[in-house]
Amino acid sequence: MSLEAVYQRNLHHKGQNSGWLRAAVLGSNDGLVSNASLLIGIAAAGKMDLLRVAGLAGIAAGAMSMAVGEFISVRSQVDIEASDRQMEIDHLAADPEGELLELTQIYIDRGLPRELAEQVAKTFTEKDALEAHLRDELGHHEANSANPVQAAVASALSFALGATIPLLGALLPTTGGKIATIIGFTLLGLAGTGLTSAKLAGSPWLRTMLRVLIGGSVGMIITAGIGALVRI
């Protein structure tokens, strides 16, 4: 197999999507569970006239909260990586010999003979010492670097999409009770989120879908119980 074919094969790795995928899955799941739980709680309390307003407010407030929270969280990660980068720059300027020994020991610990480890460490240091330490000492890789804006947008959009599903269940005319309809729509949305997450992450679909369904169901049950208590 040619090297180019190997490069093309490596494009199927999922780790490079971990940043936005985590935010999107979290946003969608949170939108489904939080808005469904809100609507179920209101319906259980007998406040049917408030479902539309509460559902729309839940979408807007939740999406903005998720976006801001995700941006701040990922931005903090970027700040930590920048701090580590500056620290390595300072270390290399103050003690290049010690940093070379440290890099050599890293390669020895990974299984290289000392002589080869010294040669590799010296070669990488001469090429780009900072990159070598960021990659092999701290595990910083460009493919996995955090993107605050991307994470915030993915989180907000996926939350809004997820939160809209239980609202549709609350607003559409149905022959059964509103709570049952909201739950039915939400379970379908959770199943879809689990399947999509499994496909994008390359994980077993059944286990992923069940995990999402069970977690969401627990949240809805607790909130419905609280709503029923308020009604009493």
- Tell which wins on pLDDT, 141 or 106: 106
Predicted TM-score (pTM) of this structure: 0.71
User: What domain count does the chain have?
Assistant: 1
Residue 138 domain-assigned (yes or no): no
Distance CA 67, CA 89 (A): 33
DSSP class of residue 173 equals -
pLDDT in tens, 175-231: 567 888 888 899 999 898 888 878 777 778 888 888 888 888 887 777 667 766 765
pLDDT in tens, 88-119: 899 999 898 988 999 999 999 999 999 999 99
Residue 184 domain-assigned (yes or no): yes
Residue 202 domain-assigned (yes or no): yes
Q: How confident is the model at residue 163 (pLDDT cuts 50, 70, 90)?
A: very high
Those residues whose C-beta lies under 8 Å from the C-beta of residue 209, and which sit 6 or more positions away, are: 190, 191, 194, 195, 198
Distance CA 55, CA 71 (A): 24
Distance CA 39, CA 55 (A): 7
Residue 48 domain-assigned (yes or no): yes
Question: Residue 36: which of 220, 209, 212, 227 has the closest Cα?
Answer: 220
Distance CA 79, CA 199 (A): 31
Residue 63 domain-assigned (yes or no): yes
Q: SS3 of 147, please?
A: coil
Residue 115 domain-assigned (yes or no): no
Question: Residue 33: which of 183, 208, 211 has the closest Cα?
Answer: 183
The percentage of the chain sitting over the pLDDT mark of 90, rounded to a whole number, equals 24
**Which ranges of 113-147 does DSSP label H, i.e. alpha helix?**
114-136
Residue 157 domain-assigned (yes or no): yes
Cβ atoms of 82 and 138 within 8 Å: the answer is no
Domain that holds residue 202: 21-90+145-167+177-231
Residue 2 domain-assigned (yes or no): no
Distance CA 168, CA 173 (A): 10
